[in-house]
């Protein structure tokens, strides 16, 4: 296999992103190509993972710098890896890249994840996210979501057991 390269996602990738979304999130409102273009035009930070010319992974984060003394916040909007390439560290590399952008502004990062999505929960816990609560019937399929939070730099919360 050729080495995987991470770079910026562009509007030219939107159709392939939508193709992967339909595979990765069936029944849970997979995003359209237009949704990806809107995300990029909104200025959100998106990374691509490529194997040669082929897009095999993507992820995006919205960054909200803290103003007037407020805490900066970030929200992971989506992340996905082609099933043929999962388990190779690509999801982790994409997430590390997005979190580096969040850490650069000192942001606390939030996300929602299906309560039964063990691979994603494992990935998020590995980089310092903790479950804050549960949103009932958050997804189109009726599935529940956990809301997760990661403090700036992935530091454990002050009340975490040592
Ligand atoms: C979640 C996802 C992005 C992970 O991508 P990936 O490239 O396969 O993940 P990586 O190989 O980088 O694995 C990183 C860590 O994730 C966790 N992980 C990955 N696959 C896992 C699995 N099947 N079960 C449990 N944990 C898993 C592990 O902690 C792993 O670290 P380790 O290899 O040191 O144990 C991928 O499974 C995916 O695209 N899923 C469908 C889309 C999705 O659910 N996105 C998240 C929506 S909130």
Order of strands across the sheet that contains 4-8: 4-8, 45-51, 54-64, 73-81, 108-114, 145-150, 130-135
Integer Cα distance of 92 and 79 in angstroms: 10
From 110, 122, 128, the mutation candidate for ligand 1 (largest count of ligand atoms within 8 A of CB) is 122
Q: What is the pLDDT along the chain (162 residues), one digit of tens a residue?
A: 678 999 999 999 999 999 999 999 998 889 999 999 999 999 999 999 999 999 999 999 999 998 888 999 999 999 999 999 999 999 999 999 999 999 999 999 999 999 999 999 999 999 999 999 999 999 989 999 999 999 999 977 776 665
Structural domains of the chain, ranges and CATH numbers in brackets = 4-154 (3.40.630.30)
Of all protein residues, whose CA lies closest to atom 18 belonging to ligand 1? Answer: 119
pTM: 0.95
- Classify burial at 131, counting beta carbons within 10 Å of its beta carbon; exposed 0-12, middle 13-18, buried 19 or more: middle
Residue nearest to atom 10 of ligand 1 (CA): 89
């Amino acid at each position: 296999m050729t080495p995987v390269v991470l770079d910026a996602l562009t509007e030219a990738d939107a159709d392939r992103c939508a193709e992967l979304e339909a595979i990765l999130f069936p029944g849970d409102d997979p995003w359209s190509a237009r949704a990806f273009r809107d995300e990029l035009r909104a200025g959100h930070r998106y990374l691509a993972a490529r194997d040669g010319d082929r897009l095999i992974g993507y992820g995006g984060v919205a960054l909200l710098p803290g103003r007037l003394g407020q805490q900066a916040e970030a929200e992971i909007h989506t992340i996905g890896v082609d099933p043929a390439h999962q388990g190779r560290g690509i999801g982790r590399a994409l997430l590390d890249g997005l979190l580096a952008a969040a850490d650069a502004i000192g942001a606390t990062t939030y996300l929602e994840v299906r309560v039964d999505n063990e691979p994603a929960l494992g990935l998020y816990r590995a980089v310092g996210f903790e479950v804050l609560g549960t949103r009932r019937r958050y997804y189109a399929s009726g599935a529940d979501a956990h809301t997760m939070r990661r403090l700036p730099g992935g530091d454990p919360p002050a009340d975490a057991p040592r």
